[in-house]
Structure 1
């Protein structure tokens, strides 16, 4: 990971409270200006302990995706502070943010985001190729992950040959490829029927336990919220409930 000059920190220059993977303090984000400004976040604060699955719930426009984008380093807040696995994101330059997203965060999206022309195994292996992991090591890791999500028998199938639930399981395996500290999932069951969605959420919970990772998941499905260790409810850019 690159060192940054000109005041930028490195990826391990700050400590977090014991047991906290994510620390968010007074987070604010506004899009646009003047009369058309949208105040997406209005002072959001919360902590996510290591090894927990924390769910964000709220109506469309409540700020869930904005929180995920900011915590994942995909967007920059207008105010407040985010500390991820000991790193204050405000102190990172572009190269270090890229390295953090690549090495320490796994992303799972509602739309799956698989590459159509690649097989399930090849999709899972993409992050490992980007890190130039040797072929033998890469193949072993891909095989382990496909087994973990119950898709060993589908390694050579392309996304178009898989069901929606199977595609999302491939996406979860891909998110785990680089042994991330944090999984960020935005409506991961949004395109799935209720039963399949519950199966995928069960898998996410099992992965958090077996792989010792932390997960921050946005979902509107009340059935799935029961599987989370904690639920944060967002309304109009503020957290109104933490249970």
Structure 2
């Protein structure tokens, strides 16, 4: 078996508001391997987003550690975390996060501009990624000219711009109808296979769980592996 790309070990996160404490993560441990699509399932407020934020270096835990691609995320400096998020981890959010004044192609190209990728190489990869997500005919359209599903496809293409090894998607189908949501999840699964990335996808939609290789159930900050439901 290959080495895990992601190692989460004893992760704990507590939010405090005055005397009140909310334990968001309780000693969470698991591993994710290259080319694996893992669905993280749980109701709203169960800790899914908190967990993904710790893994992607957007927040720090109170205890425990996260290792991504052999690097201990929880021990990184802010500069190292910026490099991690630029080069190793791609993010897809429920709200799409596209820049309204930029075209689809320009949005996809933003991470490569930040990484100072040469123009010719950048433009070639932008075209390839938009074709990969089925938007080769929409390169010049701005987000307001695209449907919700198309905007999420642009966001997915952008997340792959710098060839990340880990894709983190937080409720990527939350603003989409069920049919479009399933198409987006199928696209993520296809990209995991074709690009060889590892994907962690938080969702509360049971119809999408069957597209995952494994399912992690999170409830009150506790994570355990759940049985994978069969597609009907």
> How would you bin the TM-score normalised by the shorter chain?
over 0.9
1:68 equivalent in structure 2: 52
Q: Secondary structure at the match of 1:20?
A: coil
Q: 1:215 aligns with which of 199, 202, 208?
A: 199
Q: 1:177 aligns with which of 161, 183, 186?
A: 161
Displacement of 1:241 in angstroms is 3.6
Rounded to whole Å, the distance in 2 between the matches of 1:44 and 1:148 is 35
1:167 equivalent in structure 2: 151
Q: Secondary structure at the match of 1:126?
A: helix
2:11 equivalent in structure 1: 27
Residue ranges of structure 1 left out of the alignment (5+ in a row) = 1-16
1:146 equivalent in structure 2: 130
Displacement of 1:91 in angstroms is 2.6
Alignment of 1:34-73 (within 5 A): 35-73=19-57
1:126 equivalent in structure 2: 110
Rounded to whole Å, the distance in 2 between the matches of 1:147 and 1:19 is 31
TM-score, normalising length: structure 1: 0.91
Question: CA RMSD of the aligned region, Å?
Answer: 1.1
Rounded to whole Å, the distance in 2 between the matches of 1:59 and 1:36 is 22
1:116 aligns with 2:100: yes
Q: Secondary structure at the match of 2:58?
A: coil
More deviation, 35-44/190-199 = 35-44
Displacement of 1:33 in angstroms is 5.3
Rounded to whole Å, the distance in 2 between the matches of 1:160 and 1:205 is 26
Moved over 6 A (4+): none
Q: 1:104 aligns with which of 88, 95, 98?
A: 88
